[in-house]
Chain A
């Protein structure tokens, strides 16, 4: 861990301004991901702007019938909120499948969206990694590398890492939007899908945030009718990241939406795949995973994704 300075701020615009102004600044919220990364010197901020005092802790109803979730609402509080459990069950289910009770108490909505990949080579500073050190090369694409947990689609020649969040997969299927404040105090809003960027040649860039720009809220549109399900597949029963996860919202007529976690650098969803839902899991996956480029180690994810969706569809 490098030496760093630290300050607390009391409102979002101030946070954004400070983060843009101080060289090497980063926000810290729950710290459950950032502090680990700092200890390994994977992240080396020179200054931390603690945003936990910015008051963004509320879940409020919006004029169009949705909910606005403050960036500092903890994963536990969000999962337990009665409106979320009633109207956005997929989100509640995704949240409680993640991490552990203790971590969810600390983890925030904004921090969860920005958590970094769990690619094991990203975590080992002895290994080349384009995401950590742009241009260094990608150890996970090496000849003898282990890529069992890594991505199969949306990846690039430079990086095949996945985004590890469960929450984000549910937010994607709910068409959530990310609200931010820029360093000049301007409020911006982006659909989650546009907020995340694919690695291409610049895997170090993971989203559209500008310098200093802070997430203030996640906005959920009016509830989506249908049965909400989240199925997270993992090697042990708890406290593990998803090999594959499926978020599904399905109406009694069989229509609905599907998003995948554990397969791509961001939650993975496609309109044509949603449209194929009435035709079943295989039809959905032939759209959703079209163009997949798995490694030998992780090709099983294609089969697994289809079978996992099939399991959910069979539950209806």
Chain B
């Protein structure tokens, strides 16, 4: 099905099921422990062995010698594969560092051997017996040292109007430097796979991955085998956040271990490897300048940033949102990638947007303050309904101003204290802050197959549910389209034997995959119409209605199975407009007047994301984003050892994500909007919108509480304690 123009009035505008709250259909399985995650799938292949990785302890250089003889002789060990025994594996286009093979070390904790044994304990202790010598080389690990490059940012990504002139004539200007930290996805379930490649022929991979087809292709590239010999299954994923978009070492090592041992092998990355072996969000350094006239109208943005990557990577581009979020005739944005020898940086939830808005939305607060304007009003004044770089391009739908106004009203924004540092409750300085949120709403082609078996409909697509609620919204979509009850629909996901979907990522998953299921259902309807020889049938109450025909769906096929498959193709008409999601965050914090500890007390998000397919699962997505935003603002930062070149805090005790006690009352309001340009369901994503802007809203609230402006994340107490005034009231 081609989606080549904006959707017209359709069944989803009169929906019974789509858009209504529906508890997760996989919820019972999950709370009962009956939804098996990759590492727990003991039943899928007999005689599984356990693999354990050995990883490099230098950041850059070469391995000069490896001796695995003691490991091979250790109790329970079946096989050992070292990196020196394997030619460097080919890299798929989405991998920057090599996953295995050869003597070259590109980053700390790069996998250099896998030990396969009867038990985890045997494999782990044998891995420690492998003797490795290195020839170490000097690496580059310091983003601060990339400072100079900020002055000469190379080719700007865009340069419209006359930025320099705008700054010369502006009544108000801002020019500040900000820093965001490298972050880890730190998902609950580490990367894990079971691989059966026992005979070196067909390969079956039970894994935890967001993008099944991409994963399959990457495996084919890595091992130089025919993709058709590979089957990948990933029906349940215990969190990904972008960290499981790509093929990673777990599946590669399990495959090599399986081939070597002739048995299926399971392998999970030990927690430290989630930080230094897998990918992370790169830290950034950003210089942001804003110019405005005396009335508060922005006349120019100048945003330059650096982030780091292994050579060939993409880093974290934080300047893109600055191009289109606010009005202003002139703007220049540039992002410089610095090649560094830290582990591979790649996408993490709202890649670029999260770090960019963490900065832009502090700068907007600072600018409002200079202008003596309310930060909400300042944003409203600078709203735009067209792409400011190309005013001929409208936003398909943009209700940012409504987010701001509704949020301000619901939060009680008017009643806040406006003089920083003057609202105190006992030992706590109370502050309020807000920020805008903006994230694009991309869609990717997405396929599905539907099977009508009696009165039941089975939906098959390689779409994944990474905790997001895909099972539920796809069932809603299919039930709605086919006029069936939710209970009569079964959803099968995450299997490369099913049609290729968008996968999960970039907040494109829900909108793309529901449209794919819709397309497949329409194909089924056509088949049924042809079979019954009727025109434009209606599907209601599990029946087909057309003219004199009134037949239960269960009777249509006469015991046979009807199978239909289709893919939704999103047309390039979308290129003529900006399609985005918008939001506003309002936050109250307490900052301890003596210690500088910040605790969030109240959070509100208002989101404009088109039709909300299921308010329960969508709300969970936004809550999760807000929670991750609290971590980004206050505690999550990978600390680099600048000499040895690795992330030092590589466990969950030292890389501190928010815990329950950090998360206060959270409220989410969805605007009742639709976006016909987005998809037939008129929905957009929310999974990444929820994190956008949260960190800045907290930073702004800290400023309001204390009068201290911290421009470096995470805002830990050591970054402000020297500036906190005498604590005594």
A and B bind: yes
Docked-complex contact A123 and B651, CB < 8 angstroms: yes
How far does the alpha carbon of A3 sit from the alpha carbon of B727 in the complex, in Å? 54
Q: Judge whether B658 is part of the interface by a CB distance below 8 angstroms.
A: yes
A146, A237, A300 pick with most chain B CB within 10 angstroms = A237
Q: Judge whether A2 is part of the interface by a CB distance below 8 angstroms.
A: yes
Docked-complex contact A240 and B594, CB < 8 angstroms: no
How far does the alpha carbon of A300 sit from the alpha carbon of B717 in the complex, in Å? 9
Docked-complex contact A120 and B654, CB < 8 angstroms: yes
- In B103-123, the 8 Å CB interface with A consists of 108-109, 121
Chain B positions within 8 Å of A39 at CB level: 124
The one of B272, B653, B660 in contact with A241, judged by C-beta atoms closer than 8 angstroms, is B653
- In B465-514, the 8 Å CB interface with A consists of none
Docked-complex contact B595 and A146, CB < 8 angstroms: no
Given contacts A124-B272, A235-B716, contact A311 B727 (CB under 8 A): yes
Docked-complex contact A233 and B595, CB < 8 angstroms: yes
How far does the alpha carbon of A238 sit from the alpha carbon of B599 in the complex, in Å? 11
Chain A positions within 8 Å of B124 at CB level: 1, 39
Given contacts A144-B642, A238-B660, A240-B656, contact A120 B649 (CB under 8 A): yes
How far does the alpha carbon of A303 sit from the alpha carbon of B599 in the complex, in Å? 20
Chain B positions within 8 Å of A3 at CB level: 75, 125
Docked-complex contact B595 and A311, CB < 8 angstroms: yes
Docked-complex contact B641 and A142, CB < 8 angstroms: yes
Q: Judge whether B643 is part of the interface by a CB distance below 8 angstroms.
A: yes
Q: Judge whether A92 is part of the interface by a CB distance below 8 angstroms.
A: no
Q: Judge whether B322 is part of the interface by a CB distance below 8 angstroms.
A: no
The 0/1 profile, CB within 8 Å of B marked 1, for residues 293-316 of chain A is 000000010011001101100110
Docked-complex contact B641 and A308, CB < 8 angstroms: no
How far does the alpha carbon of A121 sit from the alpha carbon of B649 in the complex, in Å? 9
Chain A positions within 8 Å of B594 at CB level: 307-308, 310-311, 314
Chain A positions within 8 Å of B651 at CB level: 123
Given contacts A236-B658, A237-B599, A237-B662, contact A2 B653 (CB under 8 A): no
The 0/1 profile, CB within 8 Å of B marked 1, for residues 280-297 of chain A is 000000000000000000
Docked-complex contact B727 and A145, CB < 8 angstroms: no
How far does the alpha carbon of A144 sit from the alpha carbon of B644 in the complex, in Å? 7
A125, A126, A240 pick with most chain B CB within 10 angstroms = A126
Q: Judge whether B728 is part of the interface by a CB distance below 8 angstroms.
A: yes
Q: Judge whether A234 is part of the interface by a CB distance below 8 angstroms.
A: yes
Chain B positions within 8 Å of A125 at CB level: 128
Q: Judge whether A113 is part of the interface by a CB distance below 8 angstroms.
A: no
Nearest chain A CB to B490 CB, angstrom units = 37
Given contacts A123-B651, A237-B662, contact A144 B141 (CB under 8 A): yes
How far does the alpha carbon of A303 sit from the alpha carbon of B718 in the complex, in Å? 9
Q: How many residues of B contact A (CB 8 A)?
A: 49
Nearest chain A CB to B709 CB, angstrom units = 18
Nearest chain B CB to A241 CB, angstrom units = 7
Nearest chain B CB to A58 CB, angstrom units = 32
How far does the alpha carbon of A2 sit from the alpha carbon of B639 in the complex, in Å? 30
- In A22-51, the 8 Å CB interface with B consists of 39, 41
Docked-complex contact B644 and A139, CB < 8 angstroms: yes
Q: Judge whether A239 is part of the interface by a CB distance below 8 angstroms.
A: yes
Given contacts A142-B643, A303-B722, contact A233 B717 (CB under 8 A): yes
**CB contacts between A and B, total, < 8 Å:** 120
Given contacts A144-B141, A233-B717, A304-B721, contact A238 B662 (CB under 8 A): yes
How far does the alpha carbon of A149 sit from the alpha carbon of B650 in the complex, in Å? 14
Q: Judge whether B159 is part of the interface by a CB distance below 8 angstroms.
A: no
Docked-complex contact A237 and B661, CB < 8 angstroms: yes
The 0/1 profile, CB within 8 Å of B marked 1, for residues 216-258 of chain A is 0000000000000001011111111101000000000000000
Docked-complex contact A144 and B659, CB < 8 angstroms: no
- In A178-237, the 8 Å CB interface with B consists of 231, 233-237
Q: Judge whether B592 is part of the interface by a CB distance below 8 angstroms.
A: yes
Given contacts A39-B124, A235-B635, A311-B427, contact A304 B717 (CB under 8 A): yes
Q: Judge whether B189 is part of the interface by a CB distance below 8 angstroms.
A: no
How far does the alpha carbon of A120 sit from the alpha carbon of B649 in the complex, in Å? 6
The 0/1 profile, CB within 8 Å of A marked 1, for residues 575-597 of chain B is 00000000000000000111111
Given contacts A303-B722, A311-B427, contact A236 B641 (CB under 8 A): no
- In B299-329, the 8 Å CB interface with A consists of none
How far does the alpha carbon of A7 sit from the alpha carbon of B427 in the complex, in Å? 52
Docked-complex contact B635 and A236, CB < 8 angstroms: yes
Q: Judge whether B256 is part of the interface by a CB distance below 8 angstroms.
A: no
Q: Judge whether B348 is part of the interface by a CB distance below 8 angstroms.
A: no
- In B172-212, the 8 Å CB interface with A consists of none
Docked-complex contact A124 and B595, CB < 8 angstroms: no
In the complex, residue of chain A having the shortest beta-carbon distance to the beta carbon of B272 = A124
Q: Judge whether A270 is part of the interface by a CB distance below 8 angstroms.
A: no
Chain A positions within 8 Å of B644 at CB level: 127, 139, 142, 144-145
Q: Judge whether A83 is part of the interface by a CB distance below 8 angstroms.
A: no
Nearest chain B CB to A128 CB, angstrom units = 10
Docked-complex contact B639 and A308, CB < 8 angstroms: no
The 0/1 profile, CB within 8 Å of A marked 1, for residues 690-729 of chain B is 0000000000000000000000001011100110100110
Nearest chain B CB to A162 CB, angstrom units = 13
Docked-complex contact A146 and B649, CB < 8 angstroms: yes
In the complex, residue of chain B having the shortest beta-carbon distance to the beta carbon of A311 = B594
Chain B positions within 8 Å of A315 at CB level: 427
In the complex, residue of chain B having the shortest beta-carbon distance to the beta carbon of A100 = B659
Nearest chain B CB to A123 CB, angstrom units = 7
Chain A positions within 8 Å of B634 at CB level: 235-236
Q: Judge whether B57 is part of the interface by a CB distance below 8 angstroms.
A: yes
Q: Judge whether A106 is part of the interface by a CB distance below 8 angstroms.
A: no
- In A98-149, the 8 Å CB interface with B consists of 118, 120-121, 123-127, 139, 142-146, 148-149
Given contacts A126-B57, A300-B721, contact A118 B653 (CB under 8 A): yes
Docked-complex contact A1 and B125, CB < 8 angstroms: yes
Docked-complex contact B653 and A145, CB < 8 angstroms: no
Docked-complex contact A1 and B121, CB < 8 angstroms: yes
Docked-complex contact B727 and A310, CB < 8 angstroms: yes
The 0/1 profile, CB within 8 Å of B marked 1, for residues 1-33 of chain A is 111000000000000000000000000000000
Given contacts A120-B649, A123-B651, A146-B649, contact A234 B597 (CB under 8 A): yes
How far does the alpha carbon of A237 sit from the alpha carbon of B428 in the complex, in Å? 14
Chain A positions within 8 Å of B718 at CB level: 148, 243, 300, 304
Nearest chain A CB to B110 CB, angstrom units = 12
Q: Judge whether B648 is part of the interface by a CB distance below 8 angstroms.
A: yes
- In B627-677, the 8 Å CB interface with A consists of 634-635, 639-644, 648-651, 653-654, 656, 658-662
Chain A positions within 8 Å of B635 at CB level: 235-236
Nearest chain A CB to B631 CB, angstrom units = 9
Nearest chain B CB to A28 CB, angstrom units = 16
Nearest chain B CB to A4 CB, angstrom units = 10
How far does the alpha carbon of A1 sit from the alpha carbon of B126 in the complex, in Å? 9
Given contact pairs A120-B654, A235-B656, A240-B653, a sample of 17 additional A-B residue pairs in the complex whose CB atoms are under 8 Å apart: A118-B653, A121-B648, A139-B641, A144-B644, A146-B649, A231-B595, A233-B717, A235-B716, A235-B717, A239-B661, A300-B717, A300-B721, A300-B722, A303-B722, A311-B593, A311-B595, A311-B727
Give the B-binding residues of A (Cβ under 8 A): 1-3, 39, 41, 118, 120-121, 123-127, 139, 142-146, 148-149, 231, 233-241, 243, 300, 303-304, 307-308, 310-311, 314-315
22 A-B contact pairs sorted by A residue (CB < 8 Å): A1-B125, A3-B125, A121-B648, A125-B128, A139-B644, A144-B642, A145-B644, A146-B649, A233-B717, A235-B634, A235-B656, A235-B716, A236-B662, A240-B656, A243-B718, A300-B721, A303-B722, A307-B724, A310-B594, A310-B728, A311-B427, A314-B728
The 7 closest A-B pairs by CB, nearest first: A144-B642, A126-B57, A144-B643, A311-B594, A238-B661, A237-B661, A300-B718
Give the A-binding residues of B (Cβ under 8 A): 55, 57, 75, 108-109, 121, 124-125, 128, 141-142, 272, 427, 592-597, 599, 634-635, 639-644, 648-651, 653-654, 656, 658-662, 714, 716-718, 721-722, 724, 727-728
